[in-house]
Amino acid sequence: VDETYIMGKPDGVQRGLVGEIISRFEKKGFKLTGLKLFQCPQDLAEEHYKDLKGKSFFPKLIEYIVSGPVVCMAWEGVGVVAAARKLIGATNPLQAEPGTIRGDLAVQTGRNVVHGSDSPENGKREIALWFKEGELCQWTPAQAPWLRE
Ligand code: GTP
Ligand code: MG
């Protein structure tokens, strides 16, 4: 089953949007399997965004991610990676559709509130990167039969 790494970025935490972000994934029907507030060290931020290393905005991106605590989440469900990207909306919040997290709650690419893995492979990679083994919970939500036939 698919899993994705979702992260409330420092601006999301500072602006008090953590509950709202979690709530959107909960309401959709995905399963939370990991959750923590965490001060990200520089090297982890760089590893997480290593594909963007050559970009001009990379130093500012790393500075942003380590500028305050983030909320790390692992979510599980059929199709969760692509669905989470839809819930989050376009990278530039001004281009993100209303109804998406970024479309409703943000105005600038460099302060776009939330991260979501871009592929199932990266979902697994990022969950392994941000969580230690004992930090993840496998459980069966009581509502499962009311979400999927
Ligand atoms: P993530 O879910 O955070 O990975 O965003 P994304 O997949 O929508 O975009 P991408 O992976 O291409 O970029 C990662 C992050 O880098 C973005 O979410 C932004 O925070 C930041 N970023 C991307 N492009 C720019 C840019 O042109 N300028 C600035 N300042 N930040 C950027
Ligand atoms: Mg990305």
Query: Which pLDDT band, with edges at 50, 70 and 90, does 50 fall under?
Result: very high
Residue 116 CB–ligand 1 contact under 6 Å = yes
CATH number corresponding to 3-147: 3.30.70.141
Evaluate whether 6 touches 25 at the Cβ level (below 8 Å).
yes
Ligand 2 centroid to Cα of residue 72, in Å, is: 15
pLDDT tens digits for 7-28?
A: 999 999 999 999 999 999 999 9
118 lines ligand 1 (CB under 6 A): yes
Q: Is residue 122 in contact with ligand 1, taking CB distance under 6 Å?
A: no
The helix-helix angle for 120-130 and 80-88 (nearest 10°) equals 80
Ligand 2 centroid to residue 51 C-alpha, Å: 9
Residue 40 · residue 129 · CB < 8 Å: no
The helix/strand/coil state of 59 is helix
DSSP H or E stretch at residue 58: helix 58-65
Arithmetic mean of pLDDT, 62-86? 98
| pTM beyond 0.95, yes or no | yes
